[in-house]
Structures are given as structure tokens and as C-alpha cells.
Structure 1
């Protein structure tokens, strides 16, 4: 009896000769992802289109935030007659509030209640107070407004910078880029370390993981402080509190990404990282300052760690720690949510592990004596 007839009689189908020939031509079995399949090409095209979409979204986000900026509603103190205050308040660039005198105007700027102030010292002379450390672009916009007003009113204007930037960072933008790249490093570090160190098994293991993450963010922040301040001399102020700010900032982002990854998976952590990059970076303002951003990005500034971290960093550098409360709260909330998610994931994993360990013994029927 022929082999094909024997296999048919036994219930086994005979080999398809044309299928075997196709496998020979393809160089291997015609599996879904094997040689000769279009599956790798399709996956490559999907991945390429996804990466292009991400890049285009990044370009659109940054172009929308920084491409066409204009000053609007800059908080500004005025120690001058009511007519002068009303004239300045008519400008859409300013949000004017009146103060009593030059000392009150100076105090408002130094405490970060306003971005700048104008105080008349006599009938035909005034002092414009600015703080380039708060935002160089906002300071430039205020000087332009002040000069136009002085030229129109015949007033002699003196400009005083109460919080000047350092000689190594005259534009005041290096701290913004430090915030941006530390955010990327923290988010990527959380993702990579999560894959390398594995699942958080229980609450005790969670404590070890948090300690290791803080060790990582500490080293990252130390390297950034040494590079930006020690090598370039770009940051003003003592390096120890600056290191502390960067450490708290990177820890908040790292814990947030770790908590999301532990509770919802690596894909959710990647989505969070992209969101931080697409919306968090431009909403911090950085090179243009929050009062120059459009309403959408300006509204996001207080809620992303980038805006909070940059505000705290500039407050410590240029304003003796004033005006940092909202930024600290922002970072604490991000870190706290990350810790809660991580603790919940660790607790659930611990319960499942314990149940799996006891299942073989509790689930067996009792043996007879």
C-alpha cells in the first residue's frame, strides 16, 4: 500500500506537495512570522508610522508653544498716580496692581508676587524693577513696555535688575534645558530599571526599589549639578540646595513613571513619558516664560513637574527660596501618586504570590489514614 493511502486510512492527511514546494521557494516553513511572511514588513511599517507620528506631534507641540509668542497679562506692580496705572493697565501685555511706594514695589518683585514693577521717584523720573532670573524673555518684554511708556510720557527711566542671571548663563535658559533632559533621563531610567530589576513582589521589596531609584536619581542629579554648575558655572547660588532641588524633581518623575508601570504596565509608562515630553516640556515655558505662552500651555504649567521643578529651581537660585510653595506641592503630588500606585501594585502582587504558594496545600483533598 502506498504511503499516501496508508495515511488516509489512518486518519492523517497526506502532505501537500504544493505547500512543500512553496516552503522550499520561501526558504522555510510558511508560518505567520517565518521566512517568506509579510508580517515583519507590516510590523516595520506600523512602527515607522508610529514613530513619525510621535515626532510630528512633538514638533507641533513645541511650535505651538514657542513659535508665535506674545506677552499677555504679565503681573506688574505700579507705584504711581492712578492715571499712570490706568494707562499701563490698558496694555494687554500687563496685569497691573498698585502698590504704595518703591519699597513695596521692590518687595513684590523679590517675593515673586509680580514679574516687574514701575515706581515714580518724582514727577518726571521712574524706576523699572525687573528680575531676569525669573524669566529673561519676560524681563525683555517689560523693558520694552517701560521704554515705550517713558518715550511717550517724557519720563526718565532707570532699569534695575533685582535678580540678575549668572555670567555663565546670561539668557537664563540653561536651567530649563537641565529640567528637560533630567525629565527624559528620569522617565527612561524608571522604565529601564523596571525591566532590569523586575516586578515589585511585596511591600518590603517596594522599599528596596524606592531606595534604589532614589540612589539613581541622586547620582543623576549630582552629575547634572557638577556639569551645569561646576563646569559651566551656569547656575547661581550654592550648589547644595540646587542639587537638592534637582534630586527632588528627578525623584518625583521617576516615582511617577515607576508607579504607573507597576500598576498599569510598561505601555502606560511609555504613554506617560510621551505626555511629559509633549506637554510637560513646552508648558514649563523655559526660554519664553509663562506669560508669553498661549493660554493652553500656560494653564498646564502648574500641573506638570517640569513647571513645578523649574519654578523651585529659579526660586532657590535667584529669590532666596521665595515663591516655591506651589512648585514643591506639584512635585510632592507627582511623587506621592507614584508611591501610592507602586504600593498598590506591590500589595496586590504580594497577595497573589501568597495565594499561589498556599494553593497546592490547601487545595489538595485530605488523605485517609
Structure 2
């Protein structure tokens, strides 16, 4: 009879599966949890509750729910009731009519437009093409048919709002209105939203790369050279991100054609901004730093970027912060390069670079404190002490 048959009964104090476990060990196979883990039944209930309901876990859950509520409040608050606010328009007429019409438009309840009087049609059109005005209203004093010049490259929401406002004005005054788009969007850029989605993709890729690297390797590098390697990784990733994004929307899909290298450069800067800022926040706050980046780039940045709705259609808070965040500056940069001849591009790029520098400074300051020890005092161990009477220079 097989010896295992005598062992299958087990002793009275052995677990019910002890004979099976002995056979598996004899066969060279061990089943059960990996090293460092344990069976659920072996973990005390008190230890389990302490881990699940501990302050750190509760704090992370509270942080996550606050970010979620912030996301909902920010997007719904920005988009639930878009209203035009001080859309700039130049009224072109002569013989004093330009001033009269401008005053009439500025007196519209709610101040949806801010009208400027002019007699120079060419200058007014140039301001429209440069993005300094949202429309030009050509008032015909000798007839009842007026013309509204718009710039759809500023976003379809702005153009639609302008057309609605001036059609209402024309109907009220028993006049007709013709609309002419002097800066139309490219054929593949329907509603002018490609720049917004492109910038969102660049930023998401940047902070996602930094977040995954922080989770895999830890929020802080083990030494300063590894910090430099992480920065080099950000640069390499940014190059691929910028070139890939510009290629997808350009040669591949034909959404934004031309200006390939300029758009690739903007994408590289945006990707580096998102990744280095996230790394800096991780170095300062640990895993919570990822939440800080999500708040900046997703909760606040996306709804205020002037993509789905232009700045002038957003509530005051989002309208004010939009141009000063990387999302809004990125969208403005792409539109400036593709449609507006580079107008104000330096300002938009400076905003992105400023956020990049903030993240870089945070990362380097934490590195200074962690690796170089300028602000730390550590006791010297006995084996590091020099023998008494020895000259330190010898």
C-alpha cells in the first residue's frame, strides 16, 4: 500500500488540507500566497480594519471624491449656460453713423458685445484676422442690408453667438444681414475644435507618463543623477509626443494642414510642461501630486481653455483663468500659428513655459533637500570619524 495512504488521515490538530499539502510539497510544487502575502483567513480582523479604515486610506478617498466633485462642478459650471460677454466688434460706417450704431450695441441689455467705432474698413478687417476682434459690422447707411464679418478660426461658438446677436438686432431694426467668414477654418477642422482636442491629448500624455513613472519607480528618484535621467525621459517623450500629434492631425487626418514643425514644437513644450510639472508635484506631495496635476490640467484647464466655448462665453472665473493655464495657452498657440499668422504667440508660449519652470523648480528644490543635504544635519557615525590628532588634510 502507498505510504501516502497512511498520511492522508492527518492528525487531529492539522488543517483539513494537510495531507494534500504534504503530497504537493513532496512533488516539488508549493501552492499558496507568494512571499510577502498571506491568506485572508490568516489576517486578523483588527489589522484588516486598521488598514482599510486608517487615516491615510480615508484621506485618499476624501481627496478622490473632492476631485470628482470639482470635475463635475467645473465642467457643468462652465458649460451649462454659456452667455456672451463683451464680444468685441468694430462698427464700420461713415458720417457719424459708426458712433451711433456702436452706442446702440453697447446699450444692449446684458452687454453681450463691446463695440468700437471706425471708418477704416481695411484696418478693422486686419484686426479681425489677427484675433483682436471677434467681428466687424459693416453698416450700410444708404440701405437696409448690412454685412457681418466673422472669424470662425476663433471657434464656432463665438461665430454662432455673433450671428445670433446681430440677426436679432437686424430683425428688431427691420434690416437684413449677410454674414461673411474672413478667416474660415480648414476643411478638416469642423467647428474649429481640432486645436482643443490636440492640446488635451498632448497634456494628458505628458502627465500620464509622469504619473505612471512615479507609480512604477516612486515619486522621488533615488539620487540626483536619476532625476536628470527622468528629465531626459521627459524630453524624449515630448519629442515623440509633439511630432506624433502634429503628424496625426496633419498628414494622417488632414485636420490641420501646414505648419507641421511649429505645431510639433508647441506639442513638445506642452508635453514637457505637463510631465515636469507632475514630477515636481510628486516630489513635493508624493502620490497626491498626481491629483494636483489633474486639478490643474483637467478640472480647471479643460473647461477654461476656450475650446468647446470661447472665453467670452464662459462665466467670469473660467474666462479669467483660461488664458493663464497651459490648456488655454496651448489652444491659443495652435490657433495663432495655423490661422492668425502668429499673433500673440510669444505670450501664449511664455505662459506654458512658466508652468514648466514651476514644476522644474519644485523638482530641483526637493532634489536639493533630499540628495545634496544642504538643509539636513546628519550625525557622523563612529567609523566615519577621523582619529584624534590626525590632520584632516593628510
Give CA-to-partner distance per residue, 1:43-98, whole Å, 9 cap, x none.
78876665455333312221111111111111111113211111111221101122
1:350 aligns with 2:361: no
Give RMSD over aligned pairs: 3.0
Secondary structure of 1:68's aligned partner = coil
Secondary structure of 2:302's aligned partner = helix
* Residue of structure 2 equivalent to 1:71: 84
Change (3 A) 1:252 1:41: closer
The question of whether the paired residues in 2 share the 8 Å contact of 1:200 and 1:349 is answered with no
Secondary structure of 1:283's aligned partner = coil
Which protein, 1 or 2, shows the higher relative CO under an 8 Å CA cutoff with sep ≥ 6? 1
Alignment of 1:92-111 (within 5 A): 92-111=111-130
Report deviation, 1:283: 1.1
Which deviates the most, 193-202 or 209-218?
193-202
Structure 1: give runs of 5+ residues left out of the alignment. Answer: 1-25
Secondary structure of 2:136's aligned partner = strand
* Residue of structure 2 equivalent to 1:326: 347
Report deviation, 1:312: 0.7
Match of 2:131 among 100, 112, 136: 112
Report deviation, 1:367: 6.0
Give CA-to-partner distance per residue, 1:234-285, whole Å, 9 cap, x none.
2243222111112212212222222222244332342232332111111113
Equivalent-residue separation in structure 2 for 1:180 and 1:290 (angstroms): 17
* Residue of structure 1 equivalent to 2:307: 286
Match of 1:87 among 104, 122, 128: 104
The question of whether the paired residues in 2 share the 8 Å contact of 1:237 and 1:316 is answered with no
* Residue of structure 2 equivalent to 1:60: 73
Which deviates the most, 260-269 or 70-79?
260-269
How many residues matched? 341
The question of whether the paired residues in 2 share the 8 Å contact of 1:255 and 1:338 is answered with yes
The question of whether the paired residues in 2 share the 8 Å contact of 1:260 and 1:341 is answered with yes
Change (3 A) 1:196 1:73: same
Change (3 A) 1:98 1:203: farther
1:38 aligns with 2:49: yes
Which deviates the most, 349-358 or 85-94?
349-358
Report deviation, 1:148: 2.3
The question of whether the paired residues in 1 share the 8 Å contact of 2:242 and 2:263 is answered with no
Change (3 A) 1:60 1:140: same
The question of whether the paired residues in 2 share the 8 Å contact of 1:217 and 1:251 is answered with yes
1:231 aligns with 2:252: yes
Alignment of 1:10-29 (within 5 A): 27-28=41-42
Change (3 A) 1:368 1:321: closer
The question of whether the paired residues in 1 share the 8 Å contact of 2:91 and 2:102 is answered with yes
Equivalent-residue separation in structure 1 for 2:375 and 2:65 (angstroms): 45
Which deviates the most, 127-136 or 351-360?
351-360
Which deviates the most, 53-62 or 106-115?
53-62
Change (3 A) 1:200 1:326: same
The question of whether the paired residues in 2 share the 8 Å contact of 1:201 and 1:346 is answered with no
Equivalent-residue separation in structure 1 for 2:329 and 2:164 (angstroms): 28
The question of whether the paired residues in 1 share the 8 Å contact of 2:280 and 2:363 is answered with yes
TM-score (ref. length: structure 2) = 0.77
Secondary structure of 1:307's aligned partner = helix
1:167 aligns with 2:184: no
Report deviation, 1:223: 2.5
Structure 2: give runs of 5+ residues left out of the alignment. Answer: 1-39
